[in-house]
Each structure stands twice: as C-alpha cells, then as structure tokens.
Amino acid sequence: MLNLLKQITKHWREIFDPAAQIFLNSIVILKFLSFNRSFNMPIDMGKFIFGVFMKKLILVILLLQNIFALDSVSSIPKEQKKVLSQIVETLKMPSNSVSRNMIYDYIGFSFKDGWSAHWTTNSTGKNSKISNSDVQICDVTIYNNNRVVNATFVHFKKKNQLFITTKEYIEAESSLVLQRYKNKKADSKYSIINETDNYAYFQQNGYMTYETYHIKSPVGMVVYESSYILDVAE
C-alpha cells in the first residue's frame, strides 16, 4: 500500500488532470444542455455526454494501470525479490523498482513449479580481473518442473544499455516436437537457417529471435531464444 501511495503521489497530475477534465466537461455539457433547452433545440445529449465521459474515464483507467505496472515487483514473493535485487546489484544497475521490473519482465515467467536458480558473474572466478569492469555480466539459470530457462544480462554502464538473451529449453515427446517443427516450417514469419536429420532452427524475420527443434526419438526438445537491447535509466 505504501508503494502504491508513493506511485500515486509521484504521478498525481497524470491521474487527477484527466479526472478534473471529466468534471469540467460535465459542467460545460450541462450548461450547453440548459442553453439548448431554452431555445427548444432537440438534441440527443445523453449519447453525447456518455461518449465524452467514457473517453475520459478510459484515459484515467489506462493511466492507473500504467502506474501500477511501474511497481509490479512489489507484490511478488520475497524469494523472487531477493533474486532480482541480487541480479541488479551484480550488474551495477540503479537500485530501484525500474531496474528490478526490467529484469523481472524477462525471467518472471519462470518463477513457478518448484523453481530454483543460480548465476555466474564477473566476480565468480577466483582469478577474475574484470570484477570492476564497466561491463558487468550476470548469467542466470532458472529450473522448474516444466523447463530450464537461461538468461544472460550484460550491462554496458558507459552506454546505459542492457543486452539480454533468454533461452527456454523444453522437453517433449518426439512426435509433438516434430509437429511443432512442421507448423513452424509453414510459418511465413520465420526463415529456416539450418536443417539436418535431427534438428532444425529458425529465425523470426527482422528479430533476434530463434527457435530450435531437436529430435532424438522417443524424445525431443524445443529451444526458444530471444535477444534484446534496452536503455537503462540512470
């Protein structure tokens, strides 16, 4: 609740300016309605008032949703918060909710079904000479009962940018993986990069996104890989 109040206080103009505008518009509409009645001018004001009101109300709702999203990490379990905070600290990113949300957006889906995690950083090796580098790396692997997720975060501090690569490894019956492969091959949004008797991988056109289908009967595996470059607010 305290975080919510802080966010509302921070963005009070974004919330209350549209709300005040709704109130002012209502006054103007009522005066206009009164003016038209005095001249017996027929007009369907009900629909007009409702339309104006709903547009402003939707705007306020969207603004509130955006503000709540700014601090979505505040409601997650403390074990997940701990992982996010340690990743942010390792990467030497600004220690705030914006940084934690940025990381959570790319690994939050994996925190389920008996998850556990470990990571490797610039400082992991005893002979590391890059602990204080301007480029900080945190390679995170998260395990749960359904898949293995690997996420690599590289913070270029001088450039204020974060490079992210995520990979999901999912096992399934070979027949299911084969069918997924056939569906992907028919998808015009993807181009096949390489194909053998046991595996094939595709790239989504125009994106740093790949899908690999690996089959060794009776089992198979699908790998979803995506990369991103994000600006980091200092």
Q: Of 40 and 163, which is predicted with more confidence?
A: 163
Q: Where are the domains of the chain?
A: 2-70, 78-231
What is the average pLDDT value for the chain, to the nearest integer?
83
Measured from the Cβ of residue 94, the count of other Cβ atoms closer than 10 Å reads 15
Judged by DSSP in three states, 143 sits in: strand
pTM for the model: 0.71
Confidence of residue 21 (pLDDT cuts 50, 70, 90): low
C-alpha closest to that of 64 among 2, 15, 4, 5: 15
Residue 151 makes CB contacts below 8 A (sequence gap 6+) with 106, 107, 139, 140, 141, 142, 164, 165, 166, 167
Q: What are the pLDDT digits (tens) for 173-207?
A: 999 999 999 999 999 999 999 999 999 999 999 99
The answer to which of 34-48, 94-108, 134-148 has the lowest mean pLDDT is 34-48
Strand pairing class (199-204; 161-173): unpaired
Q: Of 72 and 211, which is predicted with more confidence?
A: 211
Is pLDDT of 83 > 70? yes
Q: What is the pLDDT of residue 27?
A: 53
Q: What are the pLDDT digits (tens) for 62-81?
A: 444 444 445 568 889 999 99
Q: How far apart are CA 167 and CA 113, in angstroms?
A: 18
Q: What is the pLDDT of residue 233?
A: 87
User: What's the Rg (C-alpha) of the chain?
Assistant: 26
Q: What is the pLDDT of residue 159?
A: 96
Q: What is the pLDDT of residue 56?
A: 58
